[in-house]
Amino acid sequence: MMEYKQITKEDLDIIAGFMDRERLLFGEEINEEYSHDELASEKSYPSLVARVTSTEEVSKLMAYANEHHIAVTPRGAGTGLVGASVAVEHGIMIDTTLMNHVLELDEENLTLTVEPGVLLMELRNYVEERGFYYPPDPGEKSATIGGNISTNAGGMTAVKYGVTRDYVRSLEVVLADGTIMQLGGKVVKNSSGYDLKDMVIGSEGTLAFVTKAILKLLPLPKKSVSLLVPFPTLEQAIGTVPLIIQAKSVPTAIEFMEREVILDAEEYLGRKFPDNQADAYLLLKFDGNTMEEIASYYDETAQICLDQGAIDILIADTEERSLPVWKTRGAFLEAIKASTSMMDEVDVVVPRNKVNAFVEFVHQLRQEIGIRIKSFGHAGDGNLHVYILRDDLPEDKWQDLLGIAMNRMYAKAHDLRGQVSGEHGIGLVKKPYLNESLPEASLVLMRGIKKVFDPNNILNPHKVCQA
Ligand SMILES: Cc1cc2nc3c(=O)[nH]c(=O)nc-3n(C[C@H](O)[C@H](O)[C@H](O)COP(=O)(O)OP(=O)(O)OC[C@H]3O[C@@H](n4cnc5c(N)ncnc54)[C@H](O)[C@@H]3O)c2cc1C
């Protein structure tokens, strides 16, 4: 393992020469939150947290770290679920949350230029107040846009609109040696050699530090309608999704949910779900500019659902009706977390017509190995969230069963020609599964790319594809 220099008081004094001491947290001044992300099971403190306010500060910090071989961990809001922003080698953590300004709304080019620490919820409010739409919709709205870009975050709207990568026109980045670079531009097309911008997107802070982003915007759809569709069985619900897609209807989102997870959310939110007719549901959303346009999309979908045995079609065409349903859906992760002592998560993505096969496998697995496993997910894009729950299992038994469950699920996703992660990334904890699932030739290319970007391996060591 490569040895990294640790930060001393002398380093602190030098760094305080080019950025305010008040924005540097050293040793005891570092809050516990900085030692982990939302996964919480992986912990390691950085030696120094630098709360930067400019690209120049990031550049100077990187150049200093590169020269002295100090590890650097980029950090947004720390909402990641795979330990990607944990400072394994201590060193310097660069926190972007003070770089939180919207810099430009360019209405002629339909772009928004932002600093990396702008929170997703702020970004969305900013553009929507002005009649524009930034479609990527990951569940955690208090994440930063820099974190979203670095994990290529996705959400429920991926079915129709795609993921973060599809909305990044350009990035300003700082390379490991402190060089400031512009990747891409305010252009709609780009066929100019290797796309370095796309390489940085989703690289989880291992290739470059994102200090600015130019994002693509769309006009804000004026109306939306949600359909809540109860089914007698989950199999029928999920089995209907490929037919909806085949019918070329264009929902914004198609989610599946089971009664047992809805019950957790009811308890967590202290509020009843608007329907209790069934054990399984599809939740769909359609958007457009008029109610007539939207009705033309969902009429056919509703008929397909009924033909497949749906018990009812509940139409939520006002905010008042749709909000409680989406709020319940939005609370699933936190609700499941609150229902157990500890949990671990699988975020695989499989082809959309294989979701049923995967969910059925999970149901069998939990019977077979005797551990509570809950799931919900984006039926429309094949991305499943599966949670293995510890409850009151003793440590050795928990580790044992967790290992079995994880290995079996990742192997199944691989068999179904899926991928290890649909949206949360690889970070620290999903590395073994990435290593198993990708061919050696892909890993060799990934490690080679890392070496070209960061020859001294100072940027977020041990993450994604690195040993
Ligand atoms: C309740 C809940 C729901 C969630 N739902 C979703 C979801 O639906 N979809 C989804 O994709 N994710 C989801 N997540 C995971 C998480 O919110 C995303 O991974 C998010 O993109 C992380 O952003 P962050 O600002 O918190 O980044 P962090 O957790 O701080 O960092 C994440 C990674 O990005 C790197 N990074 C951060 N900023 C920069 C930068 N400026 N330059 C270079 N690298 C950087 C870090 O080093 C790290 O590798 C959810 C999390 C929670 C807790």
Give the per-residue pLDDT at 249: 84
pTM of the entire structure?
A: 0.96
Percent of the chain clearing pLDDT 90 (strictly above): 97
Q: Are residues 269 and 244 in the same domain?
A: yes
The pLDDT score that the predictor gives to residue 467 is: 85
Ligand 1 centre distance from Cα of residue 255 (Å):
21
Last residue of a domain, one of 188, 219, 250: 219
Of 58, 81, 97, the last residue of a domain is 97
What is the average per-residue pLDDT within 51-68? 98
Q: Does residue 459 sit within a domain?
A: no
Average pLDDT of 274-295?
94
pLDDT exceeds 90 at position 309: yes
319-354 pLDDT per residue, tens: 899 999 999 999 999 999 999 999 999 999 999 999
- Tell me the CATH number at 68: 3.30.43.10
Select from 300, 330, 360 the last residue of a domain.
Answer: 330
How does pLDDT run across 144-155, given as a tens digit for each residue? Answer: 999 999 999 999
The model's pLDDT over 410-439, given as tens digits with 9 standing for 90+, comes to: 999 999 999 999 999 999 999 999 999 999
- Summary mean pLDDT of the chain: 96
- Clarify whether residues 39 and 13 are in a common domain: yes
Same-domain check for residues 152 and 233: no
Q: How far is the CA of 297 from the centre of ligand 1 (A)?
A: 33
CB 467 within 8 A of CB 208: no
pLDDT of residue 1: 54
| Same domain assignment for residues 271 and 163 | no
Q: So what's the pLDDT on residue 248?
A: 86
Q: What is the Å distance from ligand 1's center to 217 Cα? A: 21
Q: Based on the structure, what is the number of domains in the chain?
A: 4
**What pLDDT score does 2 carry?**
65
In a domain, 434, yes or no: no
Give the model confidence (pLDDT) of 65-114 as tens digits: 999 999 999 999 999 999 999 999 999 999 999 999 999 999 999 999 99
Is the pLDDT score of 209 beyond 70? yes
When pLDDT is averaged across residues 233-240 and rounded to a whole number, the result is 95
Q: Output the CA torsion 3→7→11→13 (10° steps).
A: 180
List pocket residues of ligand 1, CB cut-off 6 Å: 37-38, 73-81, 84-85, 96, 116, 138-140, 143-144, 146-148, 150-151, 153-155, 204-205, 209-210, 333-334, 423-424, 460
Note down the domain range covering 131.
Answer: 102-219
Residue 4 located in a structural domain: no
